[in-house]
Chain A
Amino acid sequence: IQLTQSPSFLSASVGDRVTITCRASQGISSYLAWYQQKPGKAPKLLIYAASTLQSGVPSRFSGSGSGTEFTLTISSLQPEDFATYYCQQLNSFLFTFGPGTKVDIK
């Protein structure tokens, strides 16, 4: 199963609403997770089962979708949110990741 993400890069300002899309090459039900990674750090789980917020993650993060199309939304971008975001499918073993979306400061 291949995952694509769009955009691959986005430039945004503090307070902006940001949406990242992840598309799967075949249906994966809701077996999708989203991660945030900052330079030199391990990834951090934000969302699992497509729309469930991981404990401790701010409520400005939300996820939606099922089947082949998914979105991660940050409702109001904060300075600490500038990072790279990855989706991951867990529907079938060979737990592929998407190529990533880098969110940079405008």
Chain B
Amino acid sequence: EVQLVESGGGLVQPGGSLRLSCAASGFTFSSYEMNWVRQAPGKGLEWVSYISSSGSTIYYADSVKGRFTISRDNAKNSLYLQMNSLRAEDTAVYYCAREAFMGLGFDYWGQGTLVTVSS
């Protein structure tokens, strides 16, 4: 069974940092592209970042570029999101999501982890 489990969310002050993790199981993690998607309270979905299966290709939404860093460790079946210089508007539930195959949608999602940026 495919499982994605996020962790690392919590309350952080503006300007602070947080590292999210996503533990993958039930599939060959190293063969799949992965993404982070977030959802602010009561709002819609916002794609945050993409990483290719090898980690060699990475993209970010303009809203997080220069502040967030996506990475993966295929030996540990894990995806990460390092979030620096956090702002109130980064408050959201963060989901990791597996991309089925290029351009075919996100077929598995984690349960999400809540990040709250507030003083």
Contact = CB atoms under 8 A, between A and B. Distances in A.
Contact of B107 (A45, A98, A100): A45
Contacts, number: 63
A42 B112 contact: yes
B26 interface: no
A47 B103 CA distance: 12
A90 B50 contact: no
Nearest to A44: B109
B104 interface: yes
Contact of B100 (A48, A86, A94): A48
Interface residues of A, number: 24
A33 B44 contact: no
B27 to A, nearest CB: 14
Name, among B46, B106, B111, the residue most crowded by chain A CB atoms within 10 Å (CB to CB).
B106
Nearest to B107: A45
A20 to B, nearest CB: 14
Interface string B38-63: 00000011110010000000010110
Given A49-B103, A49-B104, A99 B47 contact: no
A94 B109 contact: no
A93 B44 contact: no
Range of interface residues on chain B?
20 to 34
A contacts with B: majority SS: loop
Contacts of A49: 103-105
B116 interface: no
28 contacts: A31-B103, A35-B106, A42-B95, A42-B110, A43-B37, A45-B105, A45-B106, A47-B105, A48-B105, A49-B103, A88-B45, A88-B105, A88-B106, A90-B102, A90-B103, A90-B104, A90-B105, A91-B103, A93-B50, A93-B59, A94-B59, A94-B61, A94-B62, A97-B44, A97-B47, A99-B44, A100-B44, A100-B45
Given A45-B100, A97-B44, A97-B45, 9 more contacts: A35-B45, A37-B45, A42-B95, A42-B111, A42-B112, A48-B104, A49-B103, A54-B105, A97-B37
